Chains A and B, each alone.
Chain A
Amino acid sequence: MEKYKTVFVALDGSEHSERALTNAIDFAERFGSTLVLAHILDMQYFTTAWLEGPELQKGDLDPETGEPKSDLLSLGDYQRRQSRKIIQNAKSRVPEGVPYRVAFEVGSPRKDLLKMTKTFNADIVFIGSHGKGTLTEMVMGSVSAYLVEHAPMPVMVVK
């Protein structure tokens, strides 16, 4: 407990998680810790998207980028793209001299995030108080509350 060697921050692109990242970066700088930028792509979105992805027709591709037009992206593609953005953004915000690792997985934001904190030997976890406001969150309570209950290490819930 003396030193927080590994500062783990859970990211989902929400405002609260942005603030969690700001605080985690400051904390890691003070304690000379390694940051773990963690993001879980919710498996739920992904599987439904696999089943229901739209079939592309001629003319559906954007001539400039060669990718499907944004309104025709399957939910899965959209999620993958969001995930990339979230991680990219987090990486770009880490100041020079602060070592970091990226943890990414498709799975359950609750269980797999909890597993990740253990895998990376987190000494402290930073997480936003509320996530993206998914249906699961309404039914099951926030991911932060789940982590506070089940994680073996201190959890900083950031508003």
Chain B
Amino acid sequence: MGKIKTILVPTDGSDDARLALAHACNIAKQYDATLVLAHIMHLEYYGGKFAGERFDVLMQAKIEEMPADPVEDAPAEGMNVGMIEEAKLLLRNEQELVPEGVTTRLFWALGDPRADVLTVAKEVDANVIVMGSRGLGALRGALVGSVSRYVMNNSEIPVLIVK
């Protein structure tokens, strides 16, 4: 990690993710680091929603950056318009929690919430990943969610799991 320049916070809008965001903002201010918020949707999970209508079109896994400071978000294109709009809205909501003066980048992705955290981390050259111990998808009773566990075990950079 050395000097922290870029902090990645995967978020699903849960309370745990917000706590992670609060810690990340703290650290970003102190290190003058860039904050990267990433919302990753599960391709399989959302795929089912659309398979009935347009089963001939495969939904493509993708990772996209959206402008952090838009006048207006460009309308989403393609068959999965609804979920992309939702993802963008979620990111905007989380972005509002970031204090002024912290440079922020926003990513949404359609794919695998576990693996894509690491993909985004690579893409933005993150020095640390800050995440909650469990997100919305965690099983009741599990102390550490599966995504956090996966990222912790497979990341090449330090991972801060907040409580």
Contacts and interface: CB of A to CB of B under 8 A. Distances in A.
Interface in A92-139: 124, 129
Nearest to B128: A156
A151 to B, nearest CB: 7
Contact of A26 (B2, B23, B144, B160): B2
Given A1-B22, A30-B31, A31-B30, A155 B160 contact: yes
A124 B156 CA distance: 20
Contacts of A156: 128, 158-160
Contacts of A154: 23, 160-163
A2 B25 CA distance: 10
Contacts, number: 53
A26 B143 contact: no
> Dominant SS at the A interface?
mixed
A159 interface: yes
Interface residues of A, number: 23
Contacts of A124: 160
Given A1-B22, A1-B26, A145-B152, A159 B2 contact: no
Contact of B2 (A23, A150, A152): A23
A159 B156 contact: yes
Contact of B163 (A30, A129, A152, A159): A152
Contacts of A153: 163
Contacts of A157: 152, 158-161
B1 interface: yes
Contacts of B161: 148, 154-155, 157
Contact of B143 (A1, A30, A144, A149): A149
B157 interface: yes
Interface in A16-59: 22-23, 26, 30-31
A61 interface: no
A38 to B, nearest CB: 18
A127 B148 CA distance: 16
A75 interface: no
Interface in B130-163: 133, 143-144, 148-149, 152, 155-163
Interface of A: 1-2, 22-23, 26, 30-31, 124, 129, 144-145, 148-159
Interface of B: 1-3, 22-23, 26, 30-31, 128, 133, 143-144, 148-149, 152, 155-163
Q: Which 10 A-B pairs have the closest CB atoms?
A: A154-B162, A149-B143, A158-B158, A156-B160, A30-B30, A23-B1, A157-B159, A148-B161, A155-B161, A149-B144
10 contacts: A1-B22, A26-B1, A26-B3, A30-B30, A148-B152, A154-B160, A154-B163, A159-B155, A159-B156, A159-B158
